[in-house]
Every structure is written in C-alpha cells, then in structure tokens.
Structure 1
C-alpha cells in the first residue's frame, strides 16, 4: 500500500492512503493550499511530499 504525507521544515503531516486526502490535510500544517475552483494543490516553498510503500 502506498502512503503519502507532506513535510515542512517545522512540521510533519500524518500518513494518508491517498494523495488527495494528504493534499486536503496539508493546509492544517501549513504545507500548501488547495484552489477552490479547480481543486488543484499548490505546495508552499520548502514543502516536500514523502511517499512510502511500507505498511504503517
């Protein structure tokens, strides 16, 4: 199973089973924002996406 999370220099997000959920929750840790009209996610500078195939 592939897991996703966003990491900023000061915070680490939880692991999520799908990218869309990870993006939606990224706002809570200040990792980016999701545009309302298009639904496109924009990560802030120094934010990185971590992907894991390890079961958690």
Structure 2
C-alpha cells in the first residue's frame, strides 16, 4: 500500500492513504494549502512530498 506525506524544513506530516487526503491536511504542518476554487494544491517553498510503499 502506498502512503503519502508532506515534509517541511521544520515539520513532518503523518502518513495518509491517498494523496488527496495528505494535501487536505498539509496546512496543519505549514506545507501548503488546497485551493478550493481550482482544486489545486499549492505547496510552500521548501516543502517536499514523500511517498512510500508499506508492505502488508
């Protein structure tokens, strides 16, 4: 199962089951925001998205 999270220079987000959910909660760690009008995710400078496959 692939999971996603955002990482900033100062904070690390938790792992989420899908990218949309990770993007929706990214503002909690200051990684960026989800533009509700366009539906696009806007990452702040220095933000990285990580994805990892977790074996069951």
TM-score (norm 2): 0.93
> What residue number does 1:29 align with?
29
Matched, 1:13 2:10: no
**Equivalent residue for 1:47?**
47
Unaligned runs of 5+ in 2: none
- Aligned residues: CA RMSD: 1.3
With the length of structure 1 as denominator, give the TM-score of the two structures. Answer: 0.93
- Unaligned regions of 5+ residues in structure 1, if any? none
CA distance in 2, matches of 1:55, 1:22: 19
How far 1:55 moved relative to its partner? Answer: 3.8
